[in-house]
């Protein structure tokens, strides 16, 4: 009974697992000769780590997460596919844990190479080596990569396949040549690598944007992430927008309605003042739920599929909406904060944020309904 009341909270996120499956299939169709590793880090971009993994497991060769605890959560939930940990190992205990659980590990520093060399691991692990081609965040220079591969020659606890990968810095910018340049640099630098006899090398370059827009970067492995959740991938319109299906709809409910006179203000700091007699609806959602704290006056919200505007400061648990021009709004009516009818990118733009930030920011107190 208590669980039933929690699920029926009047603010919730509805997650369309069929949309996520469809988006994954689209990623595969864009690059049919590549294996597509589903990136489900950050609680599957806010959509629910375990639930998304269970929905995709029969279709994917592997998953990718950011940190070890995410991988452990998946194993404890019964997910058996290989799991790539993008931040790699930091301690001997993490390496041993990876060996026991078939975690694949990203390697991007000399420290990690030495850690692998000196730590005996029960079962061989698969290593992904990150080459920095211009992101300058994590990754090795080509000289460092060559030395690292040499230092690990003959190491008995790593698998024979080494995956070399990089990450693009500007792939969402359609007019930018940066991804092409990074791809060319990657292939040029890696083409003459000396590889230990008996081992083989595979490549991974393409993230979501490159999967749909840069065929030259398709390799043995692609890494679809944000596209799995149906988000627009570029800074301008693209044909993929038609195919991708929004997976998260974030809803709340009208819990109060009041009329205010000209000159009256709404919310903390009196950041909005009525310039005409107005009707204000209060919704049961705030920044503690993940609605963006810095959303501006005028940020769109749909109530009964009618477009309304946010007014006043976003509070911890409540927001106010001007419904003066709307028809027949009453307490209990549902509001779409973003989703299939209201693009999250529009809300993000009004909040000086990005879509990733809003999706991953939906808090744990918001029930996910699948």
Annotated active-site residue in 41, 130, 165, 309: 41
Cα 23 to its chain centre, rounded Å, is 13
Annotated active-site residue 41? The verdict is: yes
Annotated active-site residue in 188, 237, 268, 370: 268
Annotated active-site residue 268? The verdict is: yes
Catalytically active residues are: 41, 268
């Amino acid at each position: 009974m208590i669980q039933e009341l929690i699920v029926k909270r009047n603010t919730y996120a509805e997650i369309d697992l069929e949309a996520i499956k469809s988006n994954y299939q689209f990623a595969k169709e864009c690059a049919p000769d590549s294996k597509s590793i589903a990136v489900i880090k950050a609680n599957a971009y806010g959509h629910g780590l375990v639930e998304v993994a269970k929905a995709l497991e029969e279709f994917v060769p592997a998953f990718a997460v950011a940190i070890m605890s995410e991988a452990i959560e998946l194993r404890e939930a019964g997910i058996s596919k290989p799991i790539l940990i993008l931040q790699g190992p930091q301690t001997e205990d993490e390496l041993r844990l990876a060996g026991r659980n078939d975690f694949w590990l990203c390697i991007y520093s000399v420290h990690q190479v030495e850690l692998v060399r000196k730590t005996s691991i029960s079962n061989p692990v698969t290593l992904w080596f990150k080459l920095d081609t211009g992101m300058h965040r994590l990754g090795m220079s080509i000289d460092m990569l060559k030395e690292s591969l040499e230092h690990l020659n003959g190491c008995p606890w790593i698998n024979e396949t080494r995956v070399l990968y990089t990450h693009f810095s500007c792939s969402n910018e359609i007019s930018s040549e940066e991804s092409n340049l990074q791809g060319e640099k990657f292939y040029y630098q890696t083409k003459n690598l000396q590889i230990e006899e008996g081992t083989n090398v595979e490549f991974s370059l393409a993230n979501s944007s490159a999967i749909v827009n840069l065929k030259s970067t398709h390799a043995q492995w692609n890494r679809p992430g944000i596209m799995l959740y149906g988000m627009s991938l570029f800074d301008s319109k693209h044909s993929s927008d038609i195919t991708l299906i929004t997976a998260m709809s974030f809803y709340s409910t009208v819990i109060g309605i009041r009329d205010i006179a000209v000159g009256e203000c709404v919310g903390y700091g009196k950041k909005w003042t009525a310039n005409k007699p107005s009707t204000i609806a209060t919704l049961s959602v705030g920044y503690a739920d993940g609605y963006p704290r810095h959303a501006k006056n005028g940020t769109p919200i749909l109530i009964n599929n009618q477009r309304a505007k946010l007014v006043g400061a976003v509070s911890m648990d409540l927001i106010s909406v001007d419904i003066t021009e709307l028809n027949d709004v009453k307490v209990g009516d549902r509001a779409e904060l973003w989703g299939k009818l209201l693009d999250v990118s529009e809300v993000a733009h009004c909040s000086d944020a990005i879509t990733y930030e809003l999706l991953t920011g939906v808090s744990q107190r918001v029930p996910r309904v699948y």
